[in-house]
Chain A
Amino acid sequence: MIKVEWFYWLLGAVFLAGAVITVRDRTNPKRYGSAAFWALVGLSFPYATFVSAKTAPPWVLGLAVIAMTVLVGARRLGRGTTEASTAEEKSASATRFGNKLFVPPLVIPLVAVIFAAVLAKIHFGGRPLLESGSESLIGLGVASVLAVVVALIMLRPKSVAAPLSDGHRLLEALGWSAILPQMLAILGQLFTDAGVGRAVGTVIGNVLPAGSLIGSVAVYCVGMALFTVIMGNAFAAFPIMTAAIGYPVLVAHFHGNPAVVFAIGMLSGFCGTLCTPMAANFNLVPVALLDMKSRYTTIRAQIPTAIPLLICNVVLMYVLAFGVL
Chain B
Amino acid sequence: MPLLVLIGVALVVAGFALRLNPLVVVTVAGIVTGLLGGMSPLRILDEFGTGFAGSRSVTLYIVVLPVIGIIERFGLQEQARRLIAKLSFLTTGRLLAAYQLIRQVTSAVGLYAAAGHPQTIRPLVYPMAEGAAVRRFGRALPEKVLEKIKGHSAGVDNVGAFFGEDVFVAVGSILLITGFVDSTYHLQLDALQIALWAIPTAICAFLIHGSRLLYLDRQLDRMMAGVPRTPAPRPQAAAGEGTEAHR
Interface-located stretch among B72-80, B133-141, B224-232: B72-80
Given A262-B189, A266-B173, does the pair A44, B150 have CB atoms closer than 8 Å? no
28 inter-chain pairs at a CB distance below 8 angstroms, sorted by A residue, are A57-B49, A60-B49, A69-B27, A72-B23, A90-B74, A93-B78, A94-B74, A102-B124, A105-B120, A147-B64, A166-B73, A167-B67, A168-B65, A173-B240, A181-B59, A182-B56, A187-B8, A188-B51, A191-B9, A195-B2, A196-B5, A238-B177, A258-B181, A263-B193, A267-B201, A274-B158, A277-B22, A302-B158
Tell me which residues across on chain A come within 8 A of B214, comparing CB atoms.
none
A301 x B154 contact (CB < 8 A): yes
Tell me which residues across on chain A come within 8 A of B204, comparing CB atoms.
309, 312-313, 316
Which listed residue (B47, B197, B237) contacts A87, Cβ 8 A? B237
* Cα A59 to Cα B46 with chains together (Å): 4
Shortest CB distance A228–B (Å): 11
Q: Which of B148-188 contact A (CB under 8 A)?
A: 148, 150-155, 157-159, 162-163, 166, 172-174, 176-177, 180-181, 184-185, 187
A284 and chain B: residue at smallest CB distance = B22
A200 and chain B: residue at smallest CB distance = B6
B70 x A312 contact (CB < 8 A): no
A166 x B76 contact (CB < 8 A): no
* Cα A266 to Cα B163 with chains together (Å): 11
Interface-located stretch among A8-16, A122-130, A210-218: A8-16
Given A90-B75, A139-B113, A238-B177, does the pair A287, B23 have CB atoms closer than 8 Å? no
Q: A-B contact count, CB below 8 Å? A: 472
Shortest CB distance A289–B (Å): 5
Chain A residues touching B, range: 35 or more
A301 x B148 contact (CB < 8 A): yes
* Cα A304 to Cα B152 with chains together (Å): 11
Task: Mark interface residues in B55-73 (1 if CB within 8 Å of A CB, else 0).
Answer: 1111111111111111111
Number of interface residues of B (CB under 8 A): 131
A305 x B201 contact (CB < 8 A): no
The reply on A98 being an interface residue by CB < 8 A is yes
Q: Which of B104-126 contact A (CB under 8 A)?
A: 106, 110-115, 117-124, 126
Shortest CB distance B77–A (Å): 8
Tell me which residues across on chain B come within 8 A of A196, comparing CB atoms.
5-6, 8-9, 33
Tell me which residues across on chain A come within 8 A of B196, comparing CB atoms.
259, 263
A194 x B155 contact (CB < 8 A): no
The reply on A209 being an interface residue by CB < 8 A is no
Tell me which residues across on chain B come within 8 A of A183, comparing CB atoms.
23, 26-27, 30
Given A166-B69, A186-B55, A298-B154, does the pair A191, B33 have CB atoms closer than 8 Å? yes
Tell me which residues across on chain A come within 8 A of B201, comparing CB atoms.
264, 267, 309, 312-313, 316
Given A58-B49, A69-B27, does the pair A297, B71 have CB atoms closer than 8 Å? no
